[in-house]
Structure 1
Amino acid sequence: MNTPLVADSFVSLAALGGLLVLIGVIWSFDAASPLNRRFLFGLQVLAALMASRVLAWWTDLSIFRAATIMTAGLVPLATVLLAEGLLRRHAPRLTKWIAAGGAGAFLILALLPASIAEPWRVTLLFLYQLATFALAGHMTVTRDRASLSKAENQAVDRIALSLLLILPLLVTDFRSVYIDQPVRLGGVAILFLCWLLLSLGQRAVGHRDTVVSFVILLSVALLAALVIGFDNGLQPSATVRAASVVLSAALLGVIWKDSISLRTEQRRQSLIRHLAEDRIDDTLGFLKELQKHPLVDGALLLSEEELADLDLPAIKALFAANPLLRAAGTDSLSREDAEQLAWLLEKYEATHVMLVSSRPFRLIALNMPSVSATPGAETELRVVQRMAMLISERNPAHD
């Protein structure tokens, strides 16, 4: 078994996994926007590159070797296109000619047999990628910051930060007879790029937080590799491969976790979208649409008839003073009110009950245990409750 090939394959497959996760996140948010289309093109090119190189290594088929050269030649073009989208301006004409001309040239050069094209083809590819990345980096550094918003400048800064890491690690993807490289680290750079792009959706995460987190991950991976190497008597090159595998696995896990957090945040904000997009001229229509949202899936709309077996005057007084009540918040209630609420929650297997209309009297009961650990979602419920009350007071004829 070729040990370096196994490590290279693992790092590349981890990068492929990170790219697929990021592509899925972008598709779930807004794949139709012009900037996201440019992002997706670049990410899909990188994913095809990672897949084709692994297939080429393990099958030694010329079709996969050619696909590797073709996709590697498209990476600089995708970088320039993305830079144009981020900066909202065209690249200089020379940069466009170099990026487009090089991509076209390598689509043709990839078809040449290795016996004729190597090693000058790989050398040209390295110089082409290095020159184009440098030109794209120059575009971002010399941009007019005042013409971009704070969020746009933040996105550009994080892409530029990833390029600073990608450029030195990119060199390790090109084998040399003069330097014995234990592992290709381009996949690690791609994983870091995916992590940075995912962090753009987390506004509270700054550049420093991301860099510090990466340094911690890198330190832990190196420490783990040293322990593994010392315990098993590994050579330095094998220890470096172990470190790259551990770091790639850790980055892939963090990327997956962050993608889940973003999707959870997207679902959590569905209540806010409900307020912004759904109808506000009909209380019942508003409440029925509310029941379709994931956060309150299965919510029950209760009228006075459903509450007839309770002490209705006491229930009305309780919710007049506390429009939103939850199972964990009964300490401040009197014994009688606490008993009424406990019976109501038990009867409808609910964790939260909120008042949505006074005349006629209506409640919504829902089961959402996770809200007890998510203050932001509970705040959104309070906003929905208040909006429902305002709609009912504004449109009493619909009740």
Structure 2
Amino acid sequence: MSAAESAAIVLNVLAFAGAGAFLMFHADERRRSPVDTRLSAIFLLLMALVGVRATRWAIEAPFLQRVEEALAAALPLFALALAEGLMRRHAPSLMKRVFLIGSVGVALLALLRPNAVSMEFTVMLGVLVAGGLAATALLLFLRDRRSLSPSENAAISAMGLGLLAALPFVAGDFLYAAGLSPWRAGGIALLLFVYATARLTATGAGGTAVLADLALAVFGAGVAFMTLVALVGPPDLVTGGAWLLVIFGIVLVILIVQALRERDTALGRQELLTALADAPPAPLDAFIDHVLASPMLQRATVLEGAGLHDRADGNPRSHARGRACTDAAAAAGGEHARPFVRPRCRRTTDAPAQAGHGGGAHGMSDAMATFDEYERITLVAEANLAPSVHNIQPTRFRFAPDGAIEIHEDARRRIPVGDPTGADNRKSFGAAAEGLVLALAARNISAGIETGGDAIARITLHPEAAPDPLRTHVSKRATWRGAFDRPITRDVKALEKLAAGGDMTVVTDPARIAEIATLYDDTSLVTLRDGAYRAELVSWMRFTRGAKNWSRDGLNAEAMALSPFEGFAAGVVMGPLLFPVLNAFGAARPLIAEGAKVTSAAGVVLFHRPASESDFDTGRRFYRAWLEITALGLCLCPMSALADSQTAATELKRAYDIADDRKLVTAFRVGRRPPNAKQTPRVRLPASELIV
């Protein structure tokens, strides 16, 4: 058996496994629509087809050829039925008749014809299958989709693209049968279709996202193929092509498994959100009981790893009262800023409340007793929604006996290469402190901040504060690292208002934004060439869902707007071995470039503060500036490399007339999130781990 024939069998086995994995996950879906049923039917047909084909090639059983051809003849009819379900309308009656007569007629002819091998029949079957799939894809793309929802449009584009991408490989099998091609790659066709479907059901991604993933898959397979060639030597053309097809098939299987895992996680998150939405707002015991009773949830998930069997008293409420609500909200991407049971600060009766800010911590402790466990966790969870460098979350909170709240550092959470002076960490402490001040103000508690001493800062509490209007935007604030929606005039005018504050210089001219984009890519490349810096950065990046701390800290692939395969590829590219090689050949820059994302922005905001200001105070103002931009209905992504590089910072300050006595803190690219883009779940440590 030749290498090409062996590769064909392996591809069909991979296709069978990929389709089977999808059906196993799909079978767990509780609510099944007619489209789900049609999708399952076509997957079963495809599994039968590749299973029979692989068996026939492996044991060289000619009698199975008729069964294989009959199954292949049914493909266009099944694909058309699925397309009708997606479009929510019937295909043209003539098209349906042609497909029905053609599929049934060719299937009967395959089973009953006298000669098992016939060139004329092979050509006829190839025209039916390839032409039918192409016509179905064309029908999907020509559908007037203005009346459909974004998710339905994404489904149509993903399925249509999956069919078109599969066509060359389907045709390859018939070209092989006609003696015109040395490879049989029909298994790749099924894998492409399975991946498009899995990606769609996992993330709602449309055709463009699927196409981008497939382009990266081809790149990844090419890199793996070149590595194999370097190890074992160059093969002949036919064998090399077989190797490449098998490698591409394995890459597609990996992508399918990742997409199915994402889909499973999304279903669990949806179930959790449903349980949270249906739970009564009060009392807390009833809320916890309802969430724990959710059939799709493990109690260990809600209780952050502590199941009922771990509790000596067998009662989850005593453990969950302080943790479950806020931590479960974090796991679901919910809002810590909106506790499910409104916390109350307990007033004492042995001393009157002292007004004003002069009473210090003791004045507040006389007026209000210490917070209970639930109230502490709720406050800390909201404070920890503040941004921190690389999302390392270095801030810790201590509730002092005198009623003050102290800010401390977790010394294990530092980035000594990227932040040797600790300035970024100090800004992170300031942002967390400002978040705590906002949370306290929402509870009518004002705060005074004292820096210095044993703690990084002490927050003393005072009564009767007015809620800060920016606090309502805390739960909406998020980093958007993808491309922005097309800017409109309203976005630009909203940004220009920010310049009135004096610490934000707004750039909205497209030509100047393009200059900043080029400078940013140049600066990022120079920074990433430093192996120590790159290794430190990668240690805080979570490229795949299997990564430790994916949902706890750092930057995961979802937060970086990377698809599963893009995340996997980024981990390989950023590694210690491949990046220097790519950089030497000039291939690193296009792989890390974000210029297109920068130029899609409505504007770039250069955020600067007095050079004499402490990093802690700069961090407080940094958080408020971000919330002010969020309040305009916009989202942003910091481009910190421009401020971290002295060369780039000096160039920007000179170009935009920023005084020498001011420091460039960062540059934001700002715009509107695309309408179909979803906000990724918040990645945060459980609040209970932040209290010392």
Structures share fold, TM-score greater than 0.5:
yes
Q: Which residue of 2 aligns with 1:362?
A: none
Matches for 1:138-217 after TM superposition, within 5 Å: 138-176=138-176, 179-203=179-203, 205=205, 207-217=207-217
Q: Is the 8 A contact 1:87 1:140 kept in 2?
A: yes
Q: Which residue of 2 aligns with 1:301?
A: 317
Cα deviations across residues 343-377 of structure 1 (Å, max 9, x unaligned)?
Answer: xxxxxxxxxxxxxxxxxxxxxxxxxx875349837
Larger-gyration structure (1/2): 2
Distance 2:235 2:59 in 1: 28
Q: Is the 8 A contact 2:11 2:187 kept in 1?
A: yes
Kindly state the Cα deviation for residue 161 of structure 1 after the two structures are TM-superposed. Answer: 1.3
SS in 1 for 2:317: strand
User: Does 1:272 pair with 2:273?
Assistant: yes
Aligned length: 348
Distance 1:335 1:235 in 2: 74
Q: Which residue of 1 aligns with 2:397?
A: 332
Distance 1:43 1:157 in 2: 19
Q: Which residue of 2 aligns with 1:6?
A: 6
Kindly state the Cα deviation for residue 126 of structure 1 after the two structures are TM-superposed. Answer: 0.9
Change in CA separation of 1:319 and 1:288 when aligned onto 2, cut-off 3 Å: closer
How high is the sequence identity, in percent, across the aligned residues?
A: 22
Change in CA separation of 1:317 and 1:225 when aligned onto 2, cut-off 3 Å: closer
Change in CA separation of 1:284 and 1:16 when aligned onto 2, cut-off 3 Å: same
Q: Supply the AA of the counterpart residue of 2:86.
A: L
Matches for 1:1-399 after TM superposition, within 5 Å: 1-30=1-30, 32-61=32-61, 64-112=64-112, 115=115, 118-176=118-176, 179-203=179-203, 205=205, 207-229=207-229, 231-277=232-278, 284-292=285-293, 293-294=297-298, 295-296=301-302, 298=307, 300-302=316-318, 316-323=371-378, 331-335=396-400, 372-373=552-553, 376=681
Distance 1:176 1:254 in 2: 27
Cα deviations across residues 283-324 of structure 1 (Å, max 9, x unaligned)?
Answer: 544422322432226262119xx9xxxxx9977545335437
SS in 1 for 2:198: helix
The gaps in structure 1 that reach 5 residues or longer are 307-311, 339-368, 383-399
Kindly state the Cα deviation for residue 175 of structure 1 after the two structures are TM-superposed. Answer: 3.9
SS in 1 for 2:173: coil
Q: Is the 8 A contact 1:274 1:290 kept in 2?
A: yes
Cα deviations across residues 164-221 of structure 1 (Å, max 9, x unaligned)?
Answer: 2122221101145765523222221221222211221344745444322321221232
Q: Supply the AA of the counterpart residue of 1:188.
A: I
SS in 2 for 1:146: coil
Q: Which residue of 2 aligns with 1:357?
A: none
Change in CA separation of 1:125 and 1:332 when aligned onto 2, cut-off 3 Å: same
Q: Which residue of 2 aligns with 1:393?
A: none
Q: So what's the TM-score if we normalise by structure 1?
A: 0.75
Q: Is the 8 A contact 2:134 2:163 kept in 1?
A: no
Q: Is the 8 A contact 2:380 2:397 kept in 1?
A: no
Change in CA separation of 1:330 and 1:141 when aligned onto 2, cut-off 3 Å: closer
Q: Is the 8 A contact 1:226 1:239 kept in 2?
A: no
Kindly state the Cα deviation for residue 63 of structure 1 after the two structures are TM-superposed. Answer: 5.2
Q: Is the 8 A contact 1:35 1:82 kept in 2?
A: yes
The gaps in structure 2 that reach 5 residues or longer are 309-315, 323-345, 349-368, 385-392, 405-548, 557-679, 688-692
Q: Which moved more, 1:231-240 or 1:313-322?
A: 313-322
SS in 2 for 1:331: strand
Q: Which moved more, 1:229-238 or 1:124-133?
A: 229-238
Q: Supply the AA of the counterpart residue of 2:246.
A: V
Kindly state the Cα deviation for residue 79 of structure 1 after the two structures are TM-superposed. Answer: 0.7
Kindly state the Cα deviation for residue 151 of structure 1 after the two structures are TM-superposed. Answer: 1.4
Q: Is the 8 A contact 1:66 1:111 kept in 2?
A: yes
Q: Is the 8 A contact 2:4 2:183 kept in 1?
A: yes
Q: Is the 8 A contact 1:194 1:255 kept in 2?
A: yes
Kindly state the Cα deviation for residue 239 of structure 1 after the two structures are TM-superposed. Answer: 0.5
Distance 2:394 2:114 in 1: 72
Kindly state the Cα deviation for residue 83 of structure 1 after the two structures are TM-superposed. Answer: 0.9
SS in 2 for 1:234: coil
Distance 2:105 2:31 in 1: 30
SS in 1 for 2:91: coil
Q: Supply the AA of the counterpart residue of 1:33.
A: S
Q: Which moved more, 1:190-199 or 1:206-215?
A: 206-215
